[in-house]
Structure 1
Amino acid sequence: MNAVEIEEAVSALAERMFDAAEFPFQFLEAFGNKQTTIKRLRAVKGSTNASDLAGAVLQRNNIHIAAAAPGEVSAAFAGLRASPATAKAKAQFILATDGDTFEAEDLTSGETVACPYADFPNHFGFFLPLAGISTVKQVRDSAFDIRATARLNRLYVELLKDNPDWGTAERRAEMNHFMARLIFCFFAEDTDIFHGEGLFTATVDQMSAKDSANTHEVIAELFRAMNTVIKERAAAGIRSWANVFPYVNGGLFSGSLEVPRFSRIARSYLIHIGNLKWTQINPDIFGSMIQAVADDEERGALGMHYTSRPNILKVLNPLFLDDLREKLAEADDNPRKLLNLRNRMAKIRVFDPACGSGNFLVIAYKEMREIEAEINRRRGEVDRKSEIPLTNFRGIELREFPAEIARLALIIAEFQCDTLYRGQKLALAEFLPLNAENWITCGNALRLDWLSICPPTGTGVKLVGDDLFSAPLDQAQIDFENEGGETFICGNPPYVGRRNQNKEQKDEIKFVLGKNLKSSASLDYVFCWIEKSAHYVQKNSGEFAFVTTNSVSQGTQIPIYWPHLFSMGLKINFAHRSFKWSNNAADNAGVTCVVLGIGLPRTPKYIFDDEQRHEVVNINPYLLPSDVQVVETSSNPISDVSRMRYGNLPGDGNYLTLTRAERDKLIHDDPMFERIIIPLYGAQEFIRGLQRYCLWIDDSDLSSALESEFVRHRIDGVRRTRETSPDPSYNALIHRPHQFRDRNLGERMTILAPTICSEAREYLPTAVFPGRIGTTNQAFALYDAPLWNMALIASRLHLVWIGTVCGKLKTDYRYSNTLGWNTFPVPTLTDKNKVDLTRCAEDILLAREAHFPATIADLYDPEKMPADLREAHERNDEVLERIYIGRRFKNDTERLEKLFDLYTKMAASAAPKRADRGTKERAS
């Protein structure tokens, strides 16, 4: 269940007759517990109810609930807190209620809720962890926004059910425009914009029939009144009961005034929505939630997908807000400096080219209004009208409804700021009629000219539709002289990795990036926004900052794109290192994000780690304070380590591969096969303990092997596979169908590393196999290498290096010999260092052996890793890290900074070597 569905279920529970015996189970069901779970809690025998209190219900690791006798809530609550079972079962929450009073506590944070029973749905966000939803504080505290979204969603679905034609592609925009008008009316009637609390809802309730037959006609008449200036209403025949509404204009009520027909249910939903307290709306949160109402694909995650205010401020603060606040502090009470700052702010443009419902723009506007209000307070001008125009907050959005909501959210934010800083009287006096200017462009940002939409100075193109509030616009409608103003580009563009891009997105990457980059097809979609922003600020100064996935600062995308960006004279001026997206439902994969601030070089530069800010001289694409901009692939190791080869590509159609049973039968029939059958390992085989074998036939053994009909059949299969392959390199191998394409083999020992490794593992799994074994192209191998090489591969140092320079496939580490191993900087090792590392590798192998037959997958599960194996790895890390700096590193950031520093020196001193194109090894 998503947050909106939970809110609906909790609200429905509060409206039922209170049943003390059933309440605990009903409450848990409202938070998504399945009937099988509830049944086990109810059971008399074998119950999962861990409570030690009569009549109470305790769900382990979640909540202890007591339905109290009338007037005994406090006593029941104290009993829950004192209960040994509460602590033993690790309950996060305790809750007691008698159907009149409601008390709850989060035992991990100490936060409490105490309210009348009927009001507990207002606090449903407090309990969202019960549903596995990890939330930031704003989601938890924005009960109104989620509740309003839930009610509007219910109304939207009901209206489409009764008006199916309004759900078609031809009329969906009309339906969305109708919803935007309703949202404005609900807000306006609760903030006295309509000069009467609840006026819109009350009028619809009084003037439309209870059977809803004419509800659409009443609403249409109200809309018509709001679109007609007062002096023209008599001639227009506006009904008297509608004539009390003010003239709104602004394009919101222009165009078609048709309203979908209402059923009884839809009418009751509308009245119920109108009775909510719309003064509590948070436009930055609500806007992102409501856009999902009109999107069939997003509705399943309603209320969960939006960029939270803390994440937005990670972008906006270092981009320009921190500078404005610093200038405010410097100005102190100096009237001239305060005036200069206010004049500067009036010319700042904030531009979000993927604005969605406008939450970046709304928060930027609200933060700037707060600074301006403080300036006015210090200058003794608290009633002064704001000089920060909404038209300076530009956006581009592909979809029509979010574009409408973005403009509406900014209008609401402006009114709220005026009310907060200047008082409601002045706010109301200047709010209506709305301005007809439109500054949110609906269109494809990657195909539009940004300079026409957000020119740095001068007057922009004025190409508009007939209906300013809903028609798709090719360009912005409004512009004015803004000489000397600054433009800051910001947002959270769609990133879309290469494997998930549709044809249109691939075409747009080619359109935006293809003319400058040969390998643009390998880049994430978000680089299109980075590229267009780079060209914008290169020509017009300014700066841009985006929150995006950390894939843009890792792996093979770095050498493809970043040297190109730096060649434009731009630098990374600030960056937030990787942080987890913190406000989505439990089924989210846990997207890891970064923030990049890019522009013409400026100082100082800052790197942010959580709440810590580090001043640095340079920031490279890996988000490290290093002069190394790109780690390039290397055909040979830059350190004195053994050469790692790519595993053997069979190219055999699996005909040379054997099962254990096939291997045993061949050897039973002819012991000679024991010499030409060897174990075969790729990543899955050595990590999961799978057994496979292969025919490894030297030319000298071919005639003997062909005496077996089974082997002849297998070799014929290889020949057919290679003959019919569309790959010419396979066709060229038909003269040796008895052999893998590649023939790398260790005689004494082979050390393996996987091509792909789960991000969940704390160490890169590696394995050592004695004797002759075959390898596949799902692993990398060191053949007959000294064992101390394994200690390097198994170290934390090596894992953080490959995680940074090799990047990831989805969320898994993607290994590469030429990019991960050959570039890994290792100090010169003494004989003693090598002996010590060899012992560490042996200790790791012995610790694994002690847990036979557990697989690598079992042993390196972070939740189940044996203590002795973890200790062996810790010793290995300590020995290796003392070689680097004489002590353990404090964290991964310090590890990377040291590795990049060492890489800089080693790469500079290494003589460039041309890759041997004839070698059998390949980079991943």
Structure 2
Amino acid sequence: MNVARLSLKTIEERVESLGNRENYDREFIFELLDVFGKPKATITRLRSGSINIAQDKDKEVGLKNTVYFRESADALAELQTLRTEPHVIRYNPRFIITTDFVELVALDMKTGENLLIPIRDIAQHFIFFLPWAGMEKAQYAAESHADVKAAERMGKLFDELLRANPDLTSTDEGRHGFNVFFTRLLFCYFAEDTGIFKENQFTNAVGSHTHTDGSDTREFLAELFLALDTPNVGDKPSYLSGFPYVNGRLFSKDAPVSIPTFTKHAREILIQLGTLLWQEINPDIFGSMFQAIVKSEQRSDLGQHYTSVPNILKTIEPLFLDELKQLFDAGYDSPKQLTALLARISQIKVFDPACGSGNFLIIAYKELRKLEHAILGRLAELDPAKYSSMVTTSLVNIENFYGIEIDDFATEVAILSLWIAKHQMNKDFEDKFGVAIPLIPLKETGQIRAGNACRIDWNEVCPNNGSDEIYLISNPPYGGSKKLEPEQKEDYDFIFGSEPYNKNLDYVALWFIKGARYIQGSLSKVALVATNSISQGEHVSLMFPYIFNLGVEIGFAYASFKWENNAKRNAGVTVVVIGLRNKSDDPRFIFDSGISRFAQNINGYLSDAPNVEIVRRKSNFNEHLPKMAFGSMPRDGGNLILSESEFEQLVSGNKEVLKFIKKFIGAEDFIKGNVRYCLWIEDNQVEDAMGNAFIRQRLDRVRRERAASKASSTRSYADRSHRFVQISYKQTDSIIVPSVSSERREYIPIGYLDSNTVISNLAFAIYDAEPWLFSLLTSKMHMVWVRAVGGQLETRLRYSNTIVYNNFPVPPLSDEVKEALTKVALRVLDVREYHCDRTLAELYDREKMPQDLREAHHAVDKLVDSLYGEQVFDDESRLSTLFAMYEEYIEREAQELLAKKSKGKKK
């Protein structure tokens, strides 16, 4: 039997009852356990004492693996006593809690975190006890940004040299060679500050061996670069004999490099750059910023174009790093297990097929090195005589880090950044174990390949034989299908060949599909970042069937969040992280707002529900629901629309024109309380309406606007300037559904309008609508469906009639049920009217919503939830129920279609 899991929101609502009481007693602990979903039968047995493992059952409550609770006049001192008592430790409680019923003290025995609060404030601190509900709080590392200053000065040098050498970048080869020149400078600055070169060796050499006017700086650098690729000291000029042999592709004689002519100012900047502290450079950050230096279109966003470490960890931690750390903890006292883990780490391959300047690869490399150092350190502690001899070098090889990048310069930066990261981790190794691992001569050439990842066979870059442990991580380029360059559109054909595909697929879907093919039937796994639109609306049905049909599933997912960093200009975009693997019995997790929760299955909407795809449907599943359509579209250049002042001016002393006017309302008007009107003239009223000079002038403008339109469908309405081009309006009561609504609202402000109001095409309209339907559409049941399948603009909710409304599962409704739904709907509308001095935007703000309106909506929610069954009690269960119903509808529809075909064949 599956135990229902409580959502964070549900727990938050339930815990409210425990706060701000006048008095507390022993019942508090039982109520607290109930809040977090502990079975009522367990709590009853605990209260009776039958499973209470405490010694003094009058003052203590103990539940194995869960809690040890004690009343005490000195709660803090009592906690310190309990945490070491053998009787308590024996039963491994997750939390120890002590209280005098004024103050509450708690200890998380797993994390070591403490809580000391007034007991009446428990509702404000409920997150502390979330592990009882199966939700562990995720922790992410912070980061520093000491690299922007260096990048900005490098940009000044770039500009100065470009002014002095205007023809240097006129060709692709020259531009690439100029970029390579800057990567060499970056290496030299880093090398002289980190022990690869002697301290300040490069900067001192430039200052000592070149003229102040910069006239010979070019020649000197050419000689220096040659010396760095010369193994024999005797073959180098004497003034460069102190520079080491670097090797590798960076200073290769065959590498295309364009060394510019220097001005006096350029030489000064070159030397100034050498005075910065380059040992503090973070290659995971600087590489992306360095790309911005050499791309003028990105210069204004310097410091923006990198991915923050905490965000990168969202891919690599749940994909593989968390498991490795858990194995380290489990084998902490076992040399055999630790050496096995060390061997495993040395064989892991990491592959980024859209690697840019290498951010993801660098962080993955550093994290594996950190874990390797921890293992080696522990082995040396367990048996110094045996294992200290192992601490001689690193087994994590940068040749196991693969990448594809379409920008050839970024490819070079990625390789350089990996070398820098390796040297930094080598220094960390030396600090910990006293053993130096020299970086040069460089033995690795790097596994980063320049090219179009959509057109390259990934197995040619990082061969996957099925048994290798390969983790594919990436932040591929996003691009809606309508915003692609011609070459990108051609990439689809390379992916799909003759296989049909929908042209509305987002560009990033190519990486998901190719990634799923790459790991199919192997031990490899994938974690990709993408805009959240790929897991919403129609796109789910366009992409995920390709993936699931390969036997690949979603192992973990991060729900929508801002992909932000701490740069001066924040490049936040709303994204998801999706981890793919071959079908497995291993646990699945959904991460949302820093909380992880277990999932039975993760579908394309990143919900714990069956793998269903909601497709566009022209008519509603439920025949008893009226049609929802776009509102009426004027295409009038604004001339059929009247502001409130224009309306008053027109009707002042001229009331007979009211028959040509109706209220006009779109989504924003409705939510923000804007008042507008429109000219609504029936065909048989045209002659009468043209008698008014204001109206005649407006209709003439409409005619001219339409006649000048590029769209033939609009031009065809030029001679019918009195009417809207697209009309859905009916003279009945209607329901208005905003097409877009803020994510800050718990409910979309759906409205019920009178028969004299025209809904614009910027909202959806349902005519012949009865109030019971209002209850269904404004319920939490419907809201969770909107959030899951409707799609979003950034994080704002986006509504769709063909995807959301027409697919919304509704159980059969009796007349008695409709009457009850009508009653609670009218209550919501009455409360809104009571607060008529406030806009719906204000009324539905999550933090400002009036209590009586909230209660009215809760009554709607309670009634609507009851229509779907007793198992519905929070958003997760609501969504699971709706997806299950949708799956039943699809199966029934398929069976009915099959029966019709069968019947037709018999005839």
Picking from 174, 177, 198, the partner of 1:174 is 177
Structure 1 gap ranges (5+): 1-135, 458-482, 915-924
How far 1:709 moved relative to its partner? Answer: 9.7
Which position in structure 1 is the counterpart of 2:287?
Answer: 287
What is the SS of the residue equivalent to 2:181? helix
The CA deviation at 1:913 is 8.6
User: Does the CA-based 8 Å contact 2:304-2:567 persist in structure 1?
Assistant: yes
Task: Report the AA paired with residue 151 of structure 1.
Answer: R
Name the residue aligned to 2:244: 246
Cα deviation, residue 635, structure 1: 4.2
1:396 maps to 404
Structure 1 equivalent of residue 43 of structure 2: none
* 1:214 counterpart letter in structure 2: D
**Secondary structure, counterpart of 1:575 in structure 2:** strand
Per the alignment, residue 80 of structure 2 pairs with none
> Which moves more between the two structures, 504-513 or 599-608?
504-513
**Alpha-carbon deviation of 1:352?**
0.3
Which residue identity lines up with residue 361 of structure 1 in the other structure? Answer: L
* TM superposition shift of 1:244: 0.8
Could you tell me how far apart the structure 2 residues matched to 1:913 and 1:161 are?
A: 73
Give the 3 Å change call, closer, same or farther, for CA 610–816 of structure 1 in structure 2.
Answer: closer
1:749 is matched with 733
* Matched position secondary structure for 2:559: strand
More divergent stretch after superposition (787-796 vs 555-564): 787-796
Partners in 1 of 2:432 and 2:341 — Cα distance? 26
- State the AA in 2 paired with 1:190: D
Alignment of 1:595 with 2:577, yes or no, is yes
Letter in 2 for 1:228: T
Q: 2:455 aligns with which of 443, 447, 453?
A: 447
Aligned twin of 1:190: 193
Alignment correspondent of 2:528: 546
Correspondence 1:819 to 2:803: yes
Change (3 A) 1:665 1:325: closer
Change (3 A) 1:912 1:753: farther
1:416 is matched with which residue? 424
Please say if 1:613 is aligned against 2:611.
Answer: no
For 1:624, the equivalent position in structure 2 comes to: 607
CA contact (8 A) 1:787 1:838 kept: yes
Which residue of the partner structure matches residue 802 of structure 1? 786
Map of 2:220 onto structure 1: 218
Change in Cα spacing, 1:829 to 1:552, as seen in structure 2 (3 Å) is: same
1:694 aligned partner: 679
Change (3 A) 1:722 1:154: closer
SS in structure 1 opposite 2:514?
A: helix
State the Cα distance separating 1:247 from its structure 2 match.
1.0
Letter in structure 1 aligned against 2:679:
C
Per-residue deviation, residues 453-491 of structure 1 (Å, max 9, x unmatched): 12225xxxxxxxxxxxxxxxxxxxxxxxxx942222111
Superposed displacement of residue 178, structure 1: 1.6
Cα distance change, pair 913–781 in 1 and its aligned pair in 2 (3 A): farther
CA shift, 1:566, in A, is 1.6
Give the letter for the 2:788 counterpart. Answer: T
The Cα shift of 1:862 comes to 6.4
| Structure 2 residue 538 is the aligned partner of structure 1 residue 556 | yes
Partner AA of 2:246 in structure 1: V
Cα shift at 1:358? 0.8
- Whether 2:480 is the aligned partner of 1:497: answer yes
Tell me the CA shift for residue 556 of structure 1.
1.1
Deviation at 1:805, TM superposition (A): 0.7
Q: Which residue of 1 aligns with 2:123?
A: none
- Displacement, 1:708? 8.3
CA contact (8 A) 2:151 2:289 kept: yes
Q: Deviations over 1:281-333 (max 9, x none)?
A: 32223323322222222222222332222221211122222333344445555
What's the counterpart of residue 552 of structure 2?
570
Q: What CA deviation, in whole Å up to 9, does each residue of 1:546-578 have, x standing for no partner?
A: 022211111111111211222222211221222
Alpha-carbon displacement from aligned partner over 1:14-69 (angstroms, at most 9, x marks no partner): xxxxxxxxxxxxxxxxxxxxxxxxxxxxxxxxxxxxxxxxxxxxxxxxxxxxxxxx
Alignment correspondent of 2:353: 353
**In structure 2, C-alpha distance between the alignment counterparts of 1:779 and 1:913, rounded to whole Å:** 34
Distance change in 2, residues 1:905/1:151 (3 Å):
same
Residue 773 of structure 1: aligned partner: 757
The answer as to whether partners of 2:464 and 2:518 remain within 8 angstroms in 1 is no
Give the superposition deviation at 1:544. Answer: 1.2
- Compared with structure 1, are the counterparts of its residues 603 and 759 closer, same or farther at alpha carbon in structure 2 (3 Å cutoff)? same
Aligned residue identity for 1:178: F
Whether the aligned pair in 2 keeps the contact of 1:548 and 1:595 (CA below 8 Å) is yes
Count of aligned residue pairs for this structure pair: 745
Given the superposition, is the C-alpha separation of residues 587 and 784 from structure 1 closer, same or farther in structure 2, using an over 3 Å criterion?
farther
Q: Comparing 717-726 with 443-452, which one deviates more in the overlay?
A: 717-726
Alpha-carbon contact 1:294-1:401 (below 8 Å) kept: no
Q: C-alpha distance in 2, partners of 1:896/1:767?
A: 24
- Which of 461, 486, 491 matches 1:508? 491
Distance 1:814 1:514 in 2: 33
Q: Which residue of 2 aligns with 1:319?
A: 319
Task: Find the counterpart in structure 1 of residue 208 from structure 2.
Answer: 206
1:512-571 Cα shifts (integer Å, max 9, x gaps): 357434422x22221121122122222755221102221111111111121122222221
Deviation of the 1:590 alpha carbon: 3.9
Given residue 592 of structure 1, which amino acid in structure 2 is its aligned partner? T
Does 1:433 pair with 2:435?
no
- CA shift at 1:452, angstroms? 1.4
Displacement of 1:761? 4.5
Query: What is the correspondence of 1:820-899 to structure 2 with a 5 Å cutoff?
Result: 820-826=804-810, 834=818, 837-850=821-834, 852=836, 855-857=839-841, 873=857, 876-877=860-861, 880=864, 892-893=875-876, 895-899=878-882
CA 1:267 to 1:680, structure 2 compared with 1: closer, same or farther past 3 Å? same
The 2-side partners of 1:751 and 1:179 are apart by 62
Contact 1:352 1:395 in 2 (8 A): yes
Q: Distance in 1 between matches of 2:258 and 2:327?
A: 51
Deviation (angstroms), 1:789? 2.3
In 2, the alpha carbon distance for the partners of 1:335 and 1:416 equals 27
- Residues 355 and 397, structure 1, Cα contact 8 Å, conserved in 2: yes
5+ residue gaps, structure 2: 1-139, 380-385, 898-907
2:3 maps to none
Is the partner of 2:167 in helix, strand or coil?
helix
2:736 alignment partner, SS class: strand
Q: Secondary structure at the match of 1:288?
A: helix
Range moving further from structure 2, 524-533 or 765-774: 765-774
Can you list the C-alpha shifts for 1:594-640, whole angstroms capped at 9, x where unaligned?
Answer: 11111321222222234433333311001112114212334444458
Partner of 2:464: 456
1:157 alignment partner in structure 2? 159
Task: Tell me, yes or no, if the aligned pair for 1:678 and 1:695 is still in contact at 8 Å.
Answer: yes
Q: Give 3-state SS (helix, strand or coil) of 2:395's partner.
A: coil
In 1, Cα distance between equivalents of 2:694 and 2:430: 90
Distance 1:766 1:911 in 2: 33
